[in-house]
């Protein structure tokens, strides 16, 4: 017997999930599923925070059920993008998704085809996001905006001088408010006029 989780969402505190629950329990009984957990959120569809859905996804990652039952696809997600993300993750966890109203069942051939399409759309979306980020970084560089960490402004000559005076790496780092690793990198790039023996014992 497959273990099923039921997820329900009602859009306000005035609505009750009993209608959804009746249909889903009846469907589970007809298909021979054992309902092991029921999750309910009482929020509007656009709300990002959903404690019930978050808990259900956490339990899914722990392998506590094999199937997710919902009354309608728009009950489980706040947007098409969010729905694709949820379905994609359930598919990666080998958890079937069944929607009562749309008759979507990812356990069947048509449902598996839908998952493949959804997976392709989700991958395309991820690739488009990466490409948009890269394009933005290229544009920023062309406009002269620095990308990445700001280079440290260190007084190399002073560091060379301090080391030649016999100060330790720790003392130099503390005096210049930089890490000892940065001091080591600076000393390794010593100018030719500074004798190697003067900068001995860098490590």
Task: Please compute, for residue 36, the number of CA atoms within 13 A of its CA located in the half-sphere on the CB side.
Answer: 14
Please list the active-site residues. 11
Length of the chain: 203
**Burial of 121 from C-beta contacts in 10 A (0-12 / 13-18 / 19+):** middle
Q: Quick one: tokens of 109?
A: 């051939």
In this structure, how many other beta carbons lie within 10 angstroms of the beta carbon of residue 99? 19
Q: Give alpha helix (H) positions in the chain.
A: 18-31, 51-61, 73-76, 80-92, 109-142, 156-164, 169-176, 180-188
By CB neighbour count within 10 A (0-12 exposed, 13-18 middle, 19+ buried), where does 185 fall? Answer: middle
CA 26: distance to chain centroid? 35
| Cβ(1)–Cβ(67) below 8 Å | no
């Amino acid at each position: 017997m497959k273990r099923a989780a039921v997820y329900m969402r009602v859009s306000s505190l005035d609505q009750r999930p009993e209608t959804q629950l009746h249909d889903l329990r009846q469907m589970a009984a007809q298909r021979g599923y054992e309902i092991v957990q029921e999750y309910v959120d009482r929020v509007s569809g656009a709300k990002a925070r959903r404690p019930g859905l978050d808990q259900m996804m956490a339990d899914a990652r722990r392998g506590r059920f094999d199937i997710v039952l919902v009354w309608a696809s728009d009950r489980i997600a706040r947007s098409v993008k969010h729905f694709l993300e949820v379905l994609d993750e359930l598919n990666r966890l080998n958890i079937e998704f069944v929607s009562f109203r749309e008759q979507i069942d990812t356990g069947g051939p048509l449902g598996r085809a839908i998952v493949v399409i959804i997976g392709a759309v989700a991958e395309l979306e991820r690739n488009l996001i990466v490409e948009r980020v890269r394009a933005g970084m290229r544009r920023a560089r062309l406009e002269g905006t620095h990308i990445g960490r700001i280079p440290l402004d260190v007084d190399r000559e002073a560091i060379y001088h301090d080391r030649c005076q016999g100060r330790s790496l720790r003392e130099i780092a503390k005096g210049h408010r930089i890490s000892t690793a940065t001091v080591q990198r600076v000393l390794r790039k010593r100018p030719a006029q500074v004798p190697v023996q003067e900068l001995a014992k860098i490590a």
